[in-house]
Structure 1
Amino acid sequence: MSEQRKTTYPGGFPAILAQMEGRRDPFTYHEGEALAPLETDFAALKQQYMLAEAPEMGDSRSGYARKYRALAEEFAGRSALLHLHGLLIAHLRRRAQPSHTAALFQRLWVEEADYLMDYLDARWLVSAATTFGDHGANEVQRSVGHALSVLFGMMKLYETERLFAAVTPDQPHPWRKRSSPTLAMEMDAFAVGGAGGLDVNMLGRLWQQGSEDPVIAPLVQRLLTLLVDDDKTVFRRLHIMRARKAKQRQEAGKEAKPQRAVPADRRKVIAPVPEGRSGQNDTRRWGIVSLIKAAPRDVLAFAAYHLDLGAHHLHIYLDDPNPEAAEILQRHPKVTVVTCDDSYWNAQKKPRMKTHRMRQVWVATQAYNSTDCDWLGHVDVDEFLLPEGGKPIEEMLAEVPEDHLGLMLQSADQLEAPGPDGGEAFKLTHLAAGHKREVLGRIYSTLGSHLPGGFIGHISGKLFLRTGLDGLRFGIHACHWQAAQVENITNMTGSYIGHAHAASWPQFRKMLEFRLTRGSYQRAEDNDRLQLGDVIDLVLEEGGEDGLRDFYNEVNGGGPEQRAALARYNMLIDYPLHLPERMVRIFGNEAKVYLG
């Protein structure tokens, strides 16, 4: 072999190893400095919070002190246990470290795995997996740790390079003819449009092998779940490309080949009910989580309504600063208010997510993992619990079978016209009332019968879940556990989630442009059926603004004829919310300012 051949790394592997080993010198210590002992009290460290300046290190300039300060700055305001975890990983990356370092790392993951996974971001979880690869207590830990280290290391390399491509990380490349039939080292390309199982086999084997060891299993499953749920990875992009190719084949009259793997969003799982959450005693404390961007009056009305129903706690995340509402809410002992400004997202070690839905899912999951409630519902600011006959929510929750993780409340859309007593009125879908779709044609004269359930709001309903299930991801209309959608959910009848999605014509018109371009009316490209956005486009094209108003009146006006038709099929609910009275009852005279 010619010595003049080109190589990516001049000097070859001797130079690679020299560069790698040059960064692994052991830490130096000054007198009195030492890594925490093996018998360290973890409970005490969880109650101790780090200061960015690390005054406990004095003016020491040892290698240990420098790393200690760097991690103290990163974990400022967070527990000393997380700081210790970072120190252990830093030490175990060196050629030598105190003799008890690996044992302390192992003990930390044996005793505090749940805490670490709740409060460490994905970057630190990957670092932990890499450390298991080098210092695992058995072959499974070392093998899986090394495999995850290689997987995420290669992802970081190729995803970084892809940042220079013309498409964003969450966008797959368009289908086109490949420039070369083979890859580097003469490997065949992955069969994106066929039944290639490289991705499934790789992820599946890691999951299976990692599950064999009780210490590393929770870490492996959390990392792999985060991986398959992320929309900015090669796995998601290949999945989208595969689906598009299958659709192209079907449109061309060709039969698409069956895929070996069921996409994550279609897999189902029976989730376990957390210990102590299966009896009726667990219904005493229920709460709500909501990400909100709304006027102060709407925020206070939402909070007052559910507090007046008996909520044990409300977790309210303000998507934009709302100081007027926050000032009133945070004085209530049953409300936790979090303003999701730049400082909040910086503290999460992640950029502010680009869509409202992604942020909703994130904060709902955070609240689920931290709440002291027995049940938690994920509800929007324009949604209100409508328990059957006004019965206590605790009684509603007690109806859920003990082996079900939660319940789904079906949607009821608020009508513009009030009920007979001047209070709010809502309509149901035909399915909620037990009818076939044909009844929609008898209620809605023209285009309303083409909408899902005759609704212009969502028909998917909202979830209430028993809390305490580790690894659960709380979504908007569903929840996921172990990378699959939870199936043991009770579909409740009689009680509903009242949705003030378009409770008035001005509200509907004001939100229309946003919903068409960035919100719930956007067209789903993988859905060939007539969608709400298509209907509205058609209405505006043929009838203009007057036609749009006629359309709204037809589906949501709540006039006498519509009310009579809905009532005929048991699809009408008169359910006064009494929002002004509740606001004053819960928040006192301060709320009256917003009732003008």
Structure 2
Amino acid sequence: MTTPSQPKWGLVSTIKADAKSILDFAAYHLDLGAHRLHLYLDAENPDVYPHLKAHPKIRVITCDDRYWKQHKAPRPKMHQPRQTMNATHAYERIQTDWVAHIDVDEFLWPHVAAHDQSRAITETLAALPAETDALRMRPLEALAGHADHYKAMVPSGAEREHEVRAIYPEFGVFLKGGFLSHTAGKLFARTGLPDIQYRIHNLFQHGEKNTRETEQEGLRICHRHAASWDDWQGSYRFRLARGSYRPGLGAGFPARFGGLNKHELLTMIEQDHGIDGLRRFFGEINAELPEVYDALRLRGMIHHCPLNLAAKRRQHFPQFD
């Protein structure tokens, strides 16, 4: 399929968050040039629903019992399959040429001057070859305590383990690329393809992973996975039980060499050292320690990404504030 010279793009997200966070997410991407936002509220949220419903570029659905009955399937207990079902539902309906599937704490970031960012996304998508079905965007991870600063992961390769140990000497070896969150990134998917299942990190077609994808360094995702210690603690138990730290996920390096997955690592730290141990872990991985921040800076792994969320929220949703 060919891409128009000025392709339209949109987002889909399944969201359970406070009204301010949801409007920050929506306003930021509207400001960036999104033509459509398909937002699926995982629980009723009367504080935000009217603001979203009133915006002409937003399609908002509350995922209540009526919604799931329309799917003719019970509501999945885990949020991951709910995300996949909602993203696939939006993929089949969104009126854009491309659609990205991201979370409420993720923000698209083109590496260009602020006034060129909207154009950069359109130009990037327009330049993709016709045989490319997806564009993978790798994450940058927010650094708590460093406003607007994000870190890059240690890239894969023969030196990854050595570099991770050098930057994060106590805990980093257990984390892929030194990241607390995912390293897989998220996708922009070309719309109009048949028999698509739009998962969290990958696009499936005819029941198999669609590998017709590319990756560009110029378009990343700012992932505010743990914006502060309090923010991290607020979601820690859920993530440990059912989210990105849940049991059964892969380790940062092979278990046969002593690797632990995040669930095993964090459980061990908490059992052996309590909340103080978790605080020490968080401080190192988030570069609160000056020596860790300097190690990242000297390697060119610190990125300044001012999202200006409050200003954009006030611009696009003035009635909320």
TM-score by length of 2: 0.92
- Per-residue CA deviation, residues 323-374 of structure 1 (Å, 9 max, x unaligned), is 1111111111000000001111112222111110000000100100011111
Which residue number corresponds to residue 320 of structure 2? 591
Deviations 1:59-91 (A, max 9, x none): xxxxxxxxxxxxxxxxxxxxxxxxxxxxxxxxx
CA contact under 8 A between 2:24 and 2:309: conserved in structure 1?
yes
2:274 paired residue among 540, 544, 547: 544
Per-residue CA deviation, residues 537-592 of structure 1 (Å, 9 max, x unaligned), is: 2211222111110100100144433222112222111101100000011111x232
What is the SS of the residue equivalent to 2:217? strand
The Cα shift of 1:534 comes to 1.3
2:166 maps to what in 1? 442
After TM superposition, the structure 1 = structure 2 runs for residues 103-114 of structure 1, keeping only pairs within 5 Å, are none
Cα 1:381–1:578 change in 2 (3 A) is same
- Selected match of 2:234 from 490, 505, 510: 510
Match among 317, 322, 332 for residue 40 of structure 2: 317
CA distance in 1, matches of 2:295, 2:149: 14
What is residue 69 of structure 2 aligned with on the other side?
346
Tell me if 1:293 matches 2:16: yes
1:382 and 2:110 aligned: no
1:412 and 1:496 in contact (8 A); partners too: yes
Render the CA deviation track for 1:502-524: whole Å, top value 9, x for unaligned. 11101111211111111111121
CA contact (8 A) 1:298 1:381 kept: yes
Match of 1:494 in 2: 218
Find the residue that maps to 1:372 and give its secondary structure. coil
Matched AA of 2:68: W
Distance 2:218 2:53 in 1: 33
1:432 offset after TM fit, Å?
A: 7.3
CA–CA separation in structure 2 for the residues paired with 1:433 and 1:410 = 16
Aligned counterpart in structure 2 of residue 565 of structure 1, from 288, 295, 307: 295
Distance in 2, Cα, partners of 1:302 & 1:488: 28
Superposition deviation, residue 400 in structure 1: 2.6
CA contact 2:98–2:190 (8 Å) conserved in 1? yes
User: AA paired with 2:306?
Assistant: P
Distance 2:156 2:128 in 1: 18
1:12-161 superposed matches below 5 A: none
Q: Does 1:402 align with 2:126?
A: no
Matched, 1:430 2:154: yes
CA distance in structure 2 between the partners assigned to 1:411 and 1:526 by the alignment: 18
Amino acid aligned to 1:509: Q
C-alpha RMSD over aligned residues: 1.8
TM-score normalised to the size of structure 1? 0.50
Provide closer, same or farther for how the CA distance between residues 406 and 344 of structure 1 changes in structure 2, counting only shifts above 3 A: same
CA contact (8 A) 1:432 1:493 kept: no
Residue identity (%): 38
- The one of 530, 533, 538 equivalent to 2:260 is 530
Decide which moves more: 388-397 or 290-299.
388-397
Q: Is the 1:540–1:548 contact (alpha carbons within 8 Å) kept by the matching residues of 2?
A: yes
Q: Residue 494 and residue 437 in structure 1: after superposition, are their counterparts in 2 closer, same or farther (change >3 A)?
A: farther
Corresponding residue pairs, total:
310
SS in structure 2 opposite 1:417? coil
Aligned to 1:78: none
2:135 and 2:216 in contact (8 A); partners too: yes
Using a 3 Å threshold, how does the CA distance of structure 1 residues 317 and 336 change in structure 2: closer, same or farther? same
In the alignment, what sits opposite 1:331? 54
2:156 and 2:177 in contact (8 A); partners too: no
Amino acid of the structure 1 residue aligned with 2:303 = I
Cα deviation for residue 490 of structure 1 reads 0.6
Residue 291 of structure 1 deviates from its aligned partner by: 0.3
In structure 1, how many angstroms separate the alpha carbons of the residues matched to 2:250 and 2:309?
40
Return the alpha-carbon distance in structure 1 between the equivalents of residues 22 and 187 of structure 2: 20
Shift of 1:435: 6.0
CA contact (8 A) 1:406 1:466 kept: yes
Describe the superposition over 1:348-407 as per-residue Cα deviations: whole angstroms up to 9, x where unpaired: 222111110000000100100011111000010000001112432112323433321010
1:526, distance to aligned residue in structure 2 (A): 7.9
Q: Distance in 1 between matches of 2:80 and 2:139?
A: 18
Counterpart check, 1:467 vs 2:191: yes
Partner of 1:324: helix, strand, or coil? coil
Q: For residues 249-275 of structure 1, what are the alpha-carbon distances to aligned partners after superposition, in whole Å with 9 as ceiling and x for unaligned?
A: xxxxxxxxxxxxxxxxxxxxxxxxx3x
**Amino acid of the residue matched to residue 218 of structure 2?**
G
- AA partner of residue 544 (structure 1): G
Moved more, 524-533 or 369-378: 524-533
Q: Secondary structure at the match of 2:216?
A: strand
The amino acid of 2:161's aligned partner reads R
Partner of 2:90: 367
SS of corresponding position for 1:385: strand
- 3-state SS of 1:496 partner: strand
Alignment of 1:221-260 (within 5 A): none
Q: Counterpart in 2 of 1:479?
A: 203
**1:413 matched residue in structure 2:** 141
Within 2, Cα distance between the matches of 1:518 and 1:436? 28
The question of 1:306 aligning with 2:36 is answered no
In structure 1, the residue matched to 2:283 is 553
Task: Give, in whole Å, the separation in 1 of the partners of 2:57 and 2:208.
Answer: 33
Mean Cα deviation higher: 425-434 or 395-404: 425-434
Q: What residue identity is the alignment partner of 1:579? A: L
Pair member with larger Rg: 1
CA offset at residue 491 of structure 1?
1.6
Specify which structure has the higher proportion of strand.
2
Change (3 A) 1:383 1:538: same
**5+ long unaligned stretches in structure 2:** none
What amino acid does structure 2 have at the position aligned with 1:501? Answer: H
Structure 1 residue 297, shift from structure 2 partner: 0.6
Higher relative contact order (CA 8 A, sep 6+): 2
